[in-house]
Homo-oligomer: A and B are copies of this chain.
Amino acid sequence: MIIVMEENVAEEQIVRVVDRLVNLGFDIHRSTGARYTLLGAVGSRIADMRELELMEGVNKVVRVSSPYKLAARAFKPEGARININGVVIGGEQVVVMAGPGVVESREQMETIAATLSRQGVRVLRGGAFRISSDPYGFQGLGEEGLRLLREVADRHGMLTLSTIFDAAQLPLFARYVDIVQITERDMQNYALLKELAKLGKPVTLRRGASATIEETLMAADFVMRCGNHQVIICERGIKTFETYTRHTLDLSAIPVIKKLSHLPIIVDPSRAMGRRDKVPPMACAAVAAGADGLMIEVHHDPDHALLDGAQSLTLEQFDKLANQLRMIAPAVERKL
């Protein structure tokens, strides 16, 4: 932490800042320049920088160290590879995770999984719980949904991925789910993150709609500090002034996070775009930008889907998209 003092600061103001820093347990290096006095504060304590900025004579306080350590690229320069029963996220292969918004029935899951696995998809997604703004809407099949997801996935040699909403659901996820996803709203739900870390399963951490890349990596760091290093970042759109799309998919987060962190990053174009006709271009773009994986909503009959049919690809559309992705991946030294 560097404290930049005002140009015409009084010596006693400097002394007061130094005293405060010392009391907080920091070592101080003072550097007096022609125009500015800088105070370097070194220590392991976390200080509220705002309190220092409020002190008289202080111009600004600059953080030098990274606010995340375990999630930083320096912690694992070669990049993390998360291996789940042979499916490696963060490796050469772009991992496609696909399936319907919610599990509706065994037939639905079978039909969808058959197409997906024929296209080489190794992770089957499907929601079993729904938190809806409509108290009378479909709430998901609950445990039955997770069981169907598991059974169908097993039959096709696939992994399962589903979204958790509440720590009370953890035992079910322990039993049926290989990759646990949390919603963007829970990105900073530290209580849930802490419980999730204990589960010891890979977690997809969705970037909040108003979370910066740094905040997202800090949340990932939190999960890692709690003991779970199997964190997958998921970009799914941020809120901007643009209204045509619900959120603005920030694909530049891919190369940025690749530089800042060793963690894999996947992209969810279905949720970000909200309409199926816009999903394939953004899925292609995500792979071209270097994403480690994709999360795609697919439904065999979107017009009658119980949830988010509008953003689900048909099986034919998914087939076509998979072929496109297969052509694009080698351009960025990946394969599908």
Which A residues lie at the B interface, using CB under 8 A? 2, 4, 6-8, 29, 31, 33-36, 38, 40, 42, 46, 48, 50-51, 53-54, 59, 62, 64-66, 74, 131-135, 165-166, 185, 188-191, 194, 208-210, 212-214, 218-219, 222, 225-226, 238-245, 248-256, 259-260, 272-278, 281-282, 284-290, 303, 308-311, 324-325, 327-328, 330-332
User: Min CB distance, A127 to chain B, in Å?
Assistant: 15
Q: Inside 8 A of A59's CB, which chain B residues have their CB?
A: 66
- By DSSP majority rule, is chain A's interface helix, strand, loop, or mixed? mixed
Q: For A302, give the chain B residue with the smallest CB separation.
A: B51
Closest 4 CB pairs of A and B: A210-B210, A50-B310, A327-B331, A288-B288
Q: Number of copies of this chain in the oligomer? A: 4
A–B pairs, 20, beta carbons within 8 Å: A2-B62, A31-B40, A36-B65, A48-B309, A62-B64, A131-B189, A132-B190, A135-B226, A166-B191, A185-B185, A240-B241, A251-B282, A252-B273, A284-B331, A285-B285, A287-B288, A288-B288, A324-B331, A325-B331, A327-B330
- A133 partner, pick from B134, B190, B213, B253, beta carbons under 8 A: B190
User: Min CB distance, A231 to chain B, in Å?
Assistant: 15
Assess the A251–B254 pair: CB atoms within 8 A: no
Q: For A190, give the chain B residue with the smallest CB separation.
A: B131
Assess the A281–B274 pair: CB atoms within 8 A: no
Assess the B212–A242 pair: CB atoms within 8 A: yes
Report how far A40 CA is from B135 CA in the complex, Å: 26
User: Min CB distance, A294 to chain B, in Å?
Assistant: 12
Q: For A333, give the chain B residue with the smallest CB separation.
A: B324
Given contacts A54-B276, A238-B240, A240-B240, 20 further A-B contacts (CB under 8 A): A2-B64, A6-B74, A29-B33, A133-B190, A133-B219, A135-B222, A238-B248, A242-B253, A244-B256, A244-B260, A245-B252, A248-B248, A248-B250, A248-B252, A252-B273, A252-B282, A281-B332, A282-B289, A285-B289, A327-B331
